[in-house]
Amino acid sequence: MNTQEDLIQYLLLLGDTALVQGQRLCQWCGRAPAIEEELALMNVGLDLVGQARNWLEYAAELLNDGRDADDLAFRRDEREYRNLLLVEQPNGDFAVTMTKQFLYDAWHYQVLEGLCTSSDTRIAGIAAKSLKEVTYHLRRSGEWVQRLGDGTEESRRRMLEAIPQVWRFTVEMLSGSDGETRLARTGFAADPARVAAGWSQQVATVFASVELPVPAAANYFYLSGRRGLHTEHLGLLLAEMQYLPRAYPDATW
């Protein structure tokens, strides 16, 4: 594969992951545990969908086949989506949502930090802007892991249930694709090994602060968001998200 193709796949990974996580946060609208959380969940979602738009616009330019960012978001099937499996998982209760958010934020932060010095200035620019937002996301979700982990017996019980529910999907955060490794070597992408190390440390620190056990490293298990092999949740998520552009293909919104 050439660099251009690697780069497109990488941009889709970043864009699709942010978009799918943003979509999951939209599902909380009106249903959060406090008004402050309505605001915060929508705020984080808004940041992520905005970032997704930036990555997908760039991907569309490189693809150069007449599709724009909206076409990529609303007219690709699940087999073409490149998001991490973690973010397509259902929201569950607030403990599941916050665990997912934290595990993603910790990865996202490491990736963006690496990308701020990308040799592709467009990527470096988007990453620098996104990193400001994700610094806030990570602080917030980390604090919720602590509050729930060391809050009441009930909240701790729920955290102890939530972590193993989603942990297996973290395997994708510890390993990049061959394409990413190639891109990292030429200075385009964040180095997957450094991302994995930073992620592991961040997660271990927050978990340890409230004595939440860190499970053993997750194993490879057949599915892979990077290769478009998703769980059964993504198809339904996309059916809901894409229905209008699909139902009215000639429409202008």
Partner 1 sequence: MYAQLVETGVKRIKSLDEMSAEERNFQEKIDAEIKIEAKNWMPEAYRQTLIRQISQHAHSEIVGMLPEGNWVTRAPSLKRKLQLMAKIQDEAGHGLYLYSAMETLGADRDQEIDKLHSGKAKYSSIFNYPTLSWADMGAVGWLVDGAAIVNQVVLQRTSYGPYSRAMIRICKEESFHQRQGYEMLLTMMRHGTQAQKDMVQDSIDRLWWPALMMFGPSDDNSPNSAQSMAWKIKRQSNDELRQRFVDQTIPQLELLGCTVPDPDLKWNESRGHYDFGEIRWDEFYEVLKGNGPCNQERVATRRKAIEDGAWVREAAVAYARKQQNKNAA
Nearest alpha-carbon partner for 229 in 19, 24, 84, 17? 84
Question: CA end-to-end span of the chain, whole Å?
Answer: 36
Q: Does position 209 bind partner 1 by CB under 8 A?
A: no
Minimum CB distance to partner 1, residue 34 (Å): 6
Name the residue type at position 247.
A
Question: Toward partner 1, which CB reaches closer, 40 or 166?
Answer: 40
Burial zone of 22 (CB within 10 Å; 0-12 exposed, 13-18 middle, 19+ buried): buried
Site for partner 1 in 129-188 (CB under 8 A): 146-148, 150-152, 154-155, 158
Q: How many residues bind partner 1 (CB under 8 A)?
A: 49
Coil/strand/helix, residue 68:
coil
Question: Toward partner 1, which CB reaches closer, 100 or 158?
Answer: 158
Question: Toward partner 1, which CB reaches closer, 155 or 175?
Answer: 155
Q: Does position 35 bind partner 1 by CB under 8 A?
A: yes
CB atoms within 10 A of CB 93: 13
Candidates 60, 69, 85, 166; binder of partner 1 (CB under 8 A) is 69
Minimum CB distance to partner 1, residue 49 (Å): 6
Whole-angstrom distance, CA of residue 165 vs CA of residue 253: 38
Question: Toward partner 1, which CB reaches closer, 159 or 171?
Answer: 159
Q: Does position 117 bind partner 1 by CB under 8 A?
A: no
Contact (Cβ atoms closer than 8 angstroms) between residue 16 and residue 60: no
Minimum CB distance to partner 1, residue 242 (Å): 9
Q: Does position 91 bind partner 1 by CB under 8 A?
A: no
Segment interacting with partner 1, rule: CB under 8 A, options 24-32, 116-124, 168-176, 182-190: 24-32
Give the ranges where the chain is alpha helix by DSSP (H): 3-26, 35-63, 69-74, 85-88, 94-115, 121-149, 153-167, 171-174, 178-185, 192-209, 233-247
* Cα dist from 156 to 94, 160, 207, whole Å: 12, 6, 12
Segment interacting with partner 1, rule: CB under 8 A, options 26-34, 112-120, 129-137, 212-220: 26-34
Q: Does position 193 bind partner 1 by CB under 8 A?
A: no
Say which residue the tokens 């053993």 belong to: 216
List of residues contacting partner 1 (CB under 8 A) = 22-23, 26-27, 29-39, 42-43, 45-46, 49-50, 52-53, 56, 69-70, 73-74, 93-94, 146-148, 150-152, 154-155, 158, 240-241, 243-245, 248, 250-253
